[in-house]
A and B are shown apart, each in its own frame.
Chain A
Amino acid sequence: MRQFKVQIITATGIVLLAAIVSSVSVRPARAGGAIGATLVRDVENGVQDPLQSAVTVDLPNGADFSEKVLVGVPAGKRLVIESVTAYADLPSNQRPFLEIITVAGGPTGVHELVFTQENLVDRVRMVAGESIKLYADPGSSVRAFFGREGGDSNSASCHVTISGHYVTL
């Protein structure tokens, strides 16, 4: 009889433990049962053919502006640019401007970026970061045009990075 009592207590303990473990463990979402739907996969989703490209545009002493090609778009593809970030480093009292130049649907577009002042201790350091949506035609080039105002003495530079994806046409 005593042994039976011990077994009952042990069994109750195991049941309680199992209940606690199942309560805190991973379980399906609580949104309810799945609704019948056709499962689809977007073959042009950005993760299928992503692109990232970066350049540094340097301005030597005496130069006001310069540009560099960020990427050449392959034939048969269209580039979708989704993010642009930039870091500009200039001598004191100068200010940067940056344009991303694309050709989409024929016309050329000049897209200005907004810089935010980060550091003005010994030099001017400004950063730009934009979530955008720009397109570049097949066979065209995406260019970064970097310039400065407030003087052209000493060297300045701007590091530009774009992120996006290709779509096969």
Chain B
Amino acid sequence: MKRSRVLFPAAAGLAILITAISTVSIRSARAGTPLSSVPVRDVESGARDPINITGEFVIPDGAIGITVGFPGPVGKLPAGKRFVIETVTAHADLPPNQRPILQVVTFDGEHFIPFTQQRLFDRVHMEASRRVKLYSASDVKVDFAREGELTGEARCTVTLSGYYVTI
């Protein structure tokens, strides 16, 4: 009986020690072991059929803005394809005291692309770079306009980067 009185607390102490060690010790990562899986390849990945489209806009002296269809001079969007635009970048060059406004117009609406002021030495130079996700089944329209005075020429170079998906 005396022996069991000693054995019982000893067993209890051992159990507590094991629990404490297993709780604070290193354990396998929580992501679990690697699972067997089926390798897949996305046939509509942007890497399959990418496209860059660059256009230069010139607003003549006295005009407020200009609208151009993309691809425009490059050609039409291929039939049976949808154009997915992922990145829009632009450089605007305007006379002093003018500011640019840029919109990318797809069938689902007008998307404003914000400019950031970069250099204001003798002319206004502003840059835009934006990651977007826009879809178009027809030519994309790009509107470039200016605020402030309407004197002098204003220029903007716009590049749309994305890919085609066959519908």
Contacts A26-B30, A39-B36, A149-B119; A112 near B87 (Cβ below 8 A) = no
The closest CB in chain A to the CB of B50 belongs to A135
Contacts A42-B41, A131-B131; A18 near B19 (Cβ below 8 A) = yes
Q: Does A72 belong to the interface (CB within 8 Å)?
A: no
Residues of B in contact with A, size category: 35 or more
Q: Does B23 belong to the interface (CB within 8 Å)?
A: yes
Min distance, Cβ A69 to any Cβ of chain B, angstroms: 17
Q: What are the residues of chain B within 8 A of A18 when measuring CB–CB?
A: 19
Report the stretch among A54-62, A101-109, A153-161 that lies at the interface: A101-109
Min distance, Cβ A158 to any Cβ of chain B, angstroms: 14
Q: Does A44 belong to the interface (CB within 8 Å)?
A: yes
What is the 8 Å Cβ interface bit string for chain A, positions 1-22, against chain B (1 contact, 0 not)? 0010011001101100110010
Q: Measured between alpha carbons, how far is A10 from B13 in the docked complex, in Å?
A: 10
Q: How many A-B residue pairs have CB under 8 A?
A: 144
Q: Does B26 belong to the interface (CB within 8 Å)?
A: no
Residues of A in contact with B, size category: 35 or more
Q: Measured between alpha carbons, how far is A149 from B51 in the docked complex, in Å?
A: 30
Q: Does A63 belong to the interface (CB within 8 Å)?
A: no
Min distance, Cβ B18 to any Cβ of chain A, angstroms: 11
Min distance, Cβ A25 to any Cβ of chain B, angstroms: 6
Q: Does B167 belong to the interface (CB within 8 Å)?
A: no
Min distance, Cβ B73 to any Cβ of chain A, angstroms: 11
Partner of B45, one of A97, A105, A167: A167
Q: What are the residues of chain B within 8 A of A112 when measuring CB–CB?
A: 89-91, 127-129, 157, 159
Partner of A110, one of B27, B42, B54, B121: B54
What is the 8 Å Cβ interface bit string for chain A, positions 70-104, against chain B (1 contact, 0 not)? 00000000101000000000000001010000111
Report the stretch among B4-12, B104-112, B134-142, B147-155 that lies at the interface: B4-12
The closest CB in chain B to the CB of A17 belongs to B16
Q: Measured between alpha carbons, how far is A108 from B151 in the docked complex, in Å?
A: 32
Task: List 10 A-B pairs, minimum CB-CB distance, nearest first.
Answer: A109-B52, A135-B50, A39-B37, A167-B47, A105-B51, A133-B86, A95-B119, A104-B50, A41-B37, A104-B52
Can you list 23 contacts pairing A with B, beta carbon distance less than 8 Å? A3-B1, A7-B8, A17-B19, A18-B19, A21-B19, A40-B38, A43-B40, A43-B41, A78-B47, A97-B91, A97-B118, A97-B125, A103-B52, A104-B50, A107-B53, A107-B54, A107-B74, A112-B129, A114-B129, A133-B46, A135-B46, A135-B50, A150-B121
- List 13 other contacts, CB 8 Å, given A3-B5, A111-B161, A132-B161: A6-B5, A17-B19, A21-B20, A41-B40, A42-B41, A43-B41, A102-B52, A104-B50, A104-B51, A109-B53, A113-B89, A114-B127, A115-B118
